[in-house]
Amino acid sequence: MMQLFYVTVNVCLTSNLCVTPLGLEGDVDLQFLLEGGKLLKVKSSSWKKNRMYKLHDDYTTIWHESHRIFKRKETFSIDDVDSVRKGRQSESLQKHTEAHVEDLCFSIIFKGRRRNLDLVATSVEEAKQWVNGLEKILSNMKKLNLKCIPIYNVWIFNCMRKADKNKDNMMTLKELKHFLRQINVEVDETYAKVLFTKCDTSNSGTLEGSEIKLFYDLLTHREEIDVIYEKHAATGGQMSANDLLNFLLNEQREVATLEDALRLIEKYELDDSAKHMNHMTKDGFLMYLQQEEGSIFNPAHKKVYQDMSQPINHYFISSSHNTYLMGDQLKGPSSTEAYIKALMKSCRCVELDCWDGAQGEPVIYHGHTLTSKVLFKDVIKAIKEYAFKTSEYPVILSLENHCTLEQQKRMAKHMSSILGSALLTSPLEDQMPTAFPSPEELKGRFIIKGKRLNKLDAVYSNTSPAVEEDCVSEEDEAAETNNSKTDPNGQKLAKQLSDLVIYCKSVHFSGFEHAKDNQAFYEMSSFKESKAVNLAETAANAFIHHNMTKLSRIYPAGSRTASSNYNPVPLWNAGCQIVALNFQTPSKEMDVNQGRFRSNGLSGYILKPEFQRYDGSEFNPMTLTKGPWIKHKTLHIMVISAQQLPKLNKDKPKSIVDPLVKVEIYGVPADTCSKETRSIENNGFNPMWNETFQFDIQVPELAILRFQVEDYDATSQNDLIGHYCLPLTSLQNGYRHVPLLTKRGDVLPSAGLFVHLMLLDAK
């Protein structure tokens, strides 16, 4: 059986071949990982064990020794690793190691809910080599594109290696059948024998070398690509630059030139002789379709492309509720890790639920519950470290303050000292502003949302604070009903903390007219889910106008103790900016949220449509009338095929998925719709549907397209295989590949859908 490799362009599939990842040939750090070494694994102050770790020669697996009775040797896949953090950057290492070992420590952060792997090296140099080597491997796997075998091939090779039970570099008929089950294909005995016999050209009873290459070619052959390519390859059986240009213009509906076609040939064609003639072969064509130019998502929207100079309330802002929680609302753990994960997903508004802690140090947890506590200062340190790694645009710290005055002062001191000059402590303007600054002006800054003792005008008049009665949001009111802490003089808010609240002062909501007449632009209200949804349904236009000048924050109902989520779409339709969700909970609602914020460079800010921003707009999502918001479109979607859908029940080798695809539109009520394909029995490897759907869309600027692939079950609820969500405005027409994500939002490296889309003006 062949070894796994993924570098050379013209790959020779022979046995006993193992090729170093692209650009890392002879790399010292990579060689260090292959040799491995002892690391101290840290779980707690009392559990610290030396274990051997090394990179497997397939370059995608880390092997480590275990002292478990039945698992002496364990592995984990590089695919499961999200990132590597150098130093004592995890909560566990901060708690259970001393500061002097900072340069020896590093953490491997896994995707999903798997616990971090916290390690301590024996020397600073070894720690650097582990971190550098792992980061190079991670980076290399993310770049399996232009000059590498596509990642789905890597996955196939991995499965081939696992199927070679006796490691003799040959494939028997039994191993071939095992391999097919590994890749989620159910074949009958007759077909398996036919395929095996066709490839066994030496009649040896095993496949090896070029026979495995033949088997691989037969296996990865895609009939639908043949049909498309042959239709457009009009130059001696190949696609010339002009043929490719015609394809881009007529099928993909792109604005393209001959130079664009030549650039794609240069970038993706694998055959040098074809490239020399400015031709694209079928392999090059497939390579192009599987890269970002052939993706459903417009690659131009991977960067910040919207106007970022509008007032901050003119944007939807990616927002988290009770950010500190890793699980449910009653007894789950609180952790700095939850803030890191949210910020790395470009969340721009995080919540800090602050209470008095021991030794004068405020803590964050869900008050009056069994959730664990985390130090306020540790959370601020984590936020400082990770706030701007994914997005450089401002982060709002939404404080729910239950602390006594002394600990409030401590909070203010920690934020000022840790966040430094990045903390916004005064308005940007030289005189009293009348509107918000823009995300562009607030780049790299932290904005505090909370209660304030007086009006913002006091910043310019240097007067002592005049305490106001109405400086409380609805959520604060609910929290403080049974737990109001005051000092002997009756003052609930420390001036030091109050002074840090500039553009986001929490106030009670008393109606849209009252807000219009009495609230300044920087005074904002928080709405519980049920009240916000009711307003969005019964007074949508008034809500939209309210949000043209002010910010609104929405939070989940208190009854959602399991940290479930509500549908954010109706609140976005009403122009609400800060629609806070439980980021820790995988759900359709979180999928839609991440889809909404997938574009504009993952900045966490999406410019609202103009009809939600200009005064006098009559837009109402509930009762659509004629206006600039109506841009009637027809979306035609053909769901053609899927590739390498993962097995859901890995404990049952013969369990094969029966996939179906749901296509959903989220937006204004008139546009919301869902359709689905038939299910295909026992084929997760290359199912084909060729089913066409049509959607009529009135307000495309608020529409979100979602694909969900499920494993059909006649007797119980279907299981999720993968999903993908994006704004309709970020969609590319034509033949497109759709990546698929796990329920927690991580990319399924091997899986995808192949579709044809056409978004046209309705006749």
- Nearest alpha carbon to residue 581 among 705, 376, 378, 594: 594
Rounded Cα distance, 475 and 580, in Å: 12
* 713 annotated to bind ligand: yes
* 651 annotated to bind ligand: no
Cβ atoms of residues 363 and 375 within 8 Å: yes
Q: Where are the alpha helices (DSSP H) in 327-395?
A: 336-344, 376-386
545 classed as catalytic: no
Name the strand (E) or helix (H) holding 155. helix 151-163
Give me the amino acid identity at 492.
Answer: K
* 746 annotated to bind ligand: no
Catalytic residue among 321, 546, 723, 756: 321
DSSP-assigned beta bridge partners for residue 77 = 61
Give me the amino acid identity at 571.
Answer: L
Cβ atoms of residues 689 and 640 within 8 Å: yes
Residue with tokens 């979602």: 706
221 classed as catalytic: no
Rounded Cα distance, 493 and 550, in Å: 23
Phi and psi based region of residue 346 (left: phi greater than 0; alpha: psi -120 to 50; beta: remaining): left
* 711 annotated to bind ligand: yes
* 582 annotated to bind ligand: no
Rounded Cα distance, 144 and 6, in Å: 8
Hey, what long-range contacts does 368-374 have (CB within 8 A, 24 or more apart)? 368/482, 368/483, 369/329, 369/330, 369/331, 370/330, 370/331, 371/325, 371/329, 371/330, 371/331, 371/332, 371/333, 371/334, 372/332, 372/333, 372/334, 372/335, 373/334, 374/91, 374/324, 374/334, 374/335, 374/336
* 447 annotated to bind ligand: no
* 230 annotated to bind ligand: no
Catalytic residue among 366, 508, 545, 723: 366
Tell me the three state secondary structure of residue 35.
Answer: helix
Give me the amino acid identity at 588.
Answer: K
Strand ranges, E, within 464-593 = 501-506, 523-528, 552-555, 578-581
Cβ atoms of residues 741 and 590 within 8 Å: no
* 526 annotated to bind ligand: yes
DSSP letter for 687, please: -
Cα angle 691, 696, 699 (rounded to 5 degrees) comes to: 135
* 128 annotated to bind ligand: no
Residue with tokens 């590739």: 643
Question: CA dist 702 to 540, 591, 714, Å?
Answer: 14, 16, 35
* 351 annotated to bind ligand: yes
* 553 annotated to bind ligand: yes
The rounded radius of gyration (Å) of the Cα atoms in the chain is 28
Q: Are strands 105-110 and 61-65 parallel, antiparallel or unpaired?
A: unpaired
Rounded Cα distance, 670 and 702, in Å: 11
Rounded Cα distance, 383 and 397, in Å: 9
Rounded Cα distance, 339 and 91, in Å: 11
* 451 annotated to bind ligand: yes
* 485 annotated to bind ligand: no
* 658 annotated to bind ligand: yes
Catalytic residues: 321, 366
Annotated binding site for Ca(2+): 322, 351, 353, 400, 656, 658, 682, 711-713
Annotated binding site: 322, 351, 353, 400, 449, 451, 526, 553, 656, 658, 682, 711-713
Annotated binding site for substrate: 449, 451, 526, 553
